[in-house]
A and B are shown apart, each in its own frame.
Chain A
Amino acid sequence: GEDVEQSLFLSVREGDSSVINCTYTDSSSTYLYWYKQEPGAGLQLLTYIFSNMDMKQDQRLTVLLNKKDKHLSLRIADTQTGDSAIYFCAESRENGGFKTIFGAGTRLFVKA
């Protein structure tokens, strides 16, 4: 079936690293995404990774993909209070047409 799961809440101290985890069920997933949503705002695409990659790094963000375990993670280095938001993991696949499947979102709370 179509399922993307993530933990609902994460709290970290400012300056620490945050790791947000996600699991998905469909092995034919082609793209895997991380979106950030601040209160009252739309979804901001943070980064995405193709299913034939293991890792992608972009400044403070590192995405790791374990295809065998169908596990995706987002690491935010040196977490700042401005990183407080909901982070959605999502996936889409070549035979899925136009549909992107979203997880429930992880609320990241950064303590000063």
Chain B
Amino acid sequence: DTEVTQTPKHLVMGMTNKKSLKCEQHMGHRAMYWYKQKAKKPPELMFVYSYEKLSINESVPSRFSPECPNSSLLNLHLHALQPEDSALYLCASSREGLGVQYFGPGTRLTVL
């Protein structure tokens, strides 16, 4: 099973809202990733967790707050977003840091 699941599939939020994106994998992978993808562009790395510790933060604004409650779950908490944050947010996981990454289906986020 190489499945990464993400909820919700779609999310519309206002600039004053607080929401969370969720990602789950049961492959025993120890590295999990958040990417942001704008239309017709490749994914851009936002955060990496390795063994439930934040390893990489690619200078992402603080209105995005990641959390890794356990080795199977990854959350992205959203607060006071801007319309330009509208994008497809992809979660991925890999067995370790250097390893094949498996992606989830993404959450399509629209900020009004």
Contacts and interface: CB of A to CB of B under 8 A. Distances in A.
A100 B56 contact: no
Contacts of A44: 103
Interface stretch (A19-27, A35-43, A70-78): A35-43
B98 A31 contact: yes
Residues of B contacting A: mostly? strand
Interface residues of B, number: 29
A94 B98 contact: yes
Contact of B50 (A33, A86, A98): A98
Going nearest first, the 7 A-B pairs with the smallest beta carbon separation are: A102-B42, A43-B103, A42-B105, A98-B48, A42-B103, A42-B106, A98-B97
B81 interface: no
A107 to B, nearest CB: 8
A2 B102 CA distance: 22
B56 A40 contact: no
Interface in B1-54: 2, 4, 6, 31, 33, 40-43, 45, 48, 50
Contacts of B97: 97-98
Interface residues of A, number: 25
30 contacts: A31-B98, A33-B100, A35-B103, A40-B108, A41-B106, A42-B6, A42-B90, A42-B104, A42-B105, A43-B92, A43-B103, A45-B2, A45-B100, A45-B101, A93-B98, A97-B48, A97-B56, A98-B48, A98-B55, A98-B56, A98-B94, A98-B97, A98-B98, A99-B45, A99-B56, A100-B45, A100-B101, A102-B43, A104-B41, A104-B42
Interface in A63-104: 86, 88, 92-94, 96-100, 102-104
Nearest to A93: B98
Nearest to A95: B98
B90 A43 contact: yes
A79 to B, nearest CB: 21
Contacts of B102: 45
Contact of B43 (A41, A43, A93, A94): A43
